[in-house]
């Protein structure tokens, strides 16, 4: 089992149990105590856990967030380490006092996690859980779009949300995607979510897609963007380089963050 798989499994256990013990993880993965402690050190540096005697617990802010996410959404955090690394890279693009649009989704929620240190941001989102996460930043002004609530994704969609979106002009929009296809571009599994993504793209100077490796070579129901409409794609080094090179040939800047080995 490679490092990223082991750490993802540790996070799955944390999401389910809220705590882990070093001794149990040593038995579970058949590795040394030193290896497990190195894993926990990394997760603590990322702000995911708080270590205690003999193990670790999920950090307070993540416990609150996961308690508020429906079970169907919690399954999306199986690739949390990868998504969180992508979120950190995306947030590093943003500067103080900028206007940012965040699409709903687990990877864009990770982007929000890493923007708390920025000053005087204006954040516009259709994600209820993302708005709540951004509320942890005292200096951010947060605008939550109105519309119909899709419970499985905690997103607000529909004509009302699209009309409100047209009022804004943003420096960046960060969008998730259900699939990425060299033939169809970026796709969504829901008609209404595809429409709000299109509306968001129209408002931003820079369009950024954030996607873990599982989204590649997958085509969902509806295309919401071609490669020509996207400025930056942020993913991980778990994606085949040939696929990323093909996307770059369409003029998209690709950032592949390292998660496939110890780092």
CATH T-level assignment (fold) for domain 3-65:
Arc Repressor Mutant, subunit A (1.10.10)
Name the CATH architecture for the domain at 70-257.
3-Layer(aba) Sandwich (3.40)
Reported confidence tier of residue 72, pLDDT bands at 50, 70, 90 = very low
Residue 34 has pLDDT above 70, yes or no: yes
User: Are the beta carbons of 248 and 231 closer than 8 angstroms?
Assistant: no
- Please give the model's pTM, rounded to 2 decimal places: 0.74
Per-residue pLDDT reduced to its tens digit, 75-92? 455 688 889 999 999 999
Residue with the two structure tokens 């969504």? 188
Residue 7 has pLDDT above 70, yes or no: yes
Per-residue buried b or exposed e for 100-130, using 16+ beta carbons within 10 Å of the residue's own CB? bbbbbbbbbbbbbbbbbebeebbbbbbbbbb
| Domain parsing of the chain, residue ranges | 3-65, 70-257
Per-residue pLDDT reduced to its tens digit, 82-131? 899 999 999 999 999 999 999 998 899 999 999 988 999 999 999 998 99
Same CATH fold assignment for domains 3-65 and 70-257: no
What is the pLDDT of the chain when averaged over all its residues? 88
User: Are the beta carbons of 168 and 124 closer than 8 angstroms?
Assistant: yes
| Residues counted in the chain | 263
Lowest-confidence region among 97-101, 136-140, 146-150, 227-231: 136-140
Question: 43 CB contacts (<8 Å, ≥6 apart)?
Answer: 7, 10, 11, 49, 56, 81
Q: Is 224 exposed, middle or buried (0-12, 13-18, 19+ CB in 10 A)?
A: buried
80-81-85-87 Cα dihedral, nearest 10 degrees: 10
């Amino acid at each position: 089992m490679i490092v990223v798989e082991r750490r993802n499994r540790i996070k799955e256990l944390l999401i389910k149990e809220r705590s882990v013990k070093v001794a149990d993880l040593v038995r579970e993965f058949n590795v040394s105590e030193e290896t497990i402690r190195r894993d926990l050190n990394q997760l603590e540096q990322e702000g995911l856990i708080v270590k205690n005697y003999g193990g670790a617990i999920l950090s307070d802010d993540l416990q609150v967030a996961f308690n508020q996410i429906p079970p169907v959404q919690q399954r999306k955090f199986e690739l949390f380490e990868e998504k969180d690394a992508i979120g950190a890279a995306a947030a590093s693009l943003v500067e103080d006092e900028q206007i940012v649009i965040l699409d709903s989704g687990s990877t864009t929620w990770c982007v929000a996690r890493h923007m708390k240190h920025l000053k005087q941001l204006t954040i516009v989102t259709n994600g209820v859980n993302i708005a709540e996460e951004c509320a942890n930043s005292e200096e951010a002004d947060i605008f939550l779009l109105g519309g119909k609530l899709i419970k499985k994704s905690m997103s607000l969609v529909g004509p009302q949300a699209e009309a409100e979106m047209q009022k804004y002009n943003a420096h960046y929009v960060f969008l998730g995607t259900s699939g990425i296809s060299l033939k169809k571009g970026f796709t969504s599994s829901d008609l209404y979510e595809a429409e709000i993504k299109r509306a968001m793209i129209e408002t931003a100077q820079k369009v950024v897609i954030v996607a873990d490796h599982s989204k590649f070579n997958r085509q969902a129901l509806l295309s919401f963007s071609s490669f020509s409409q996207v400025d930056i794609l942020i993913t991980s080094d778990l994606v085949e380089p040939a696929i990323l090179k093909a996307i770059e040939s369409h003029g998209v800047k690709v950032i592949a963050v390292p998660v496939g080995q110890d780092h």
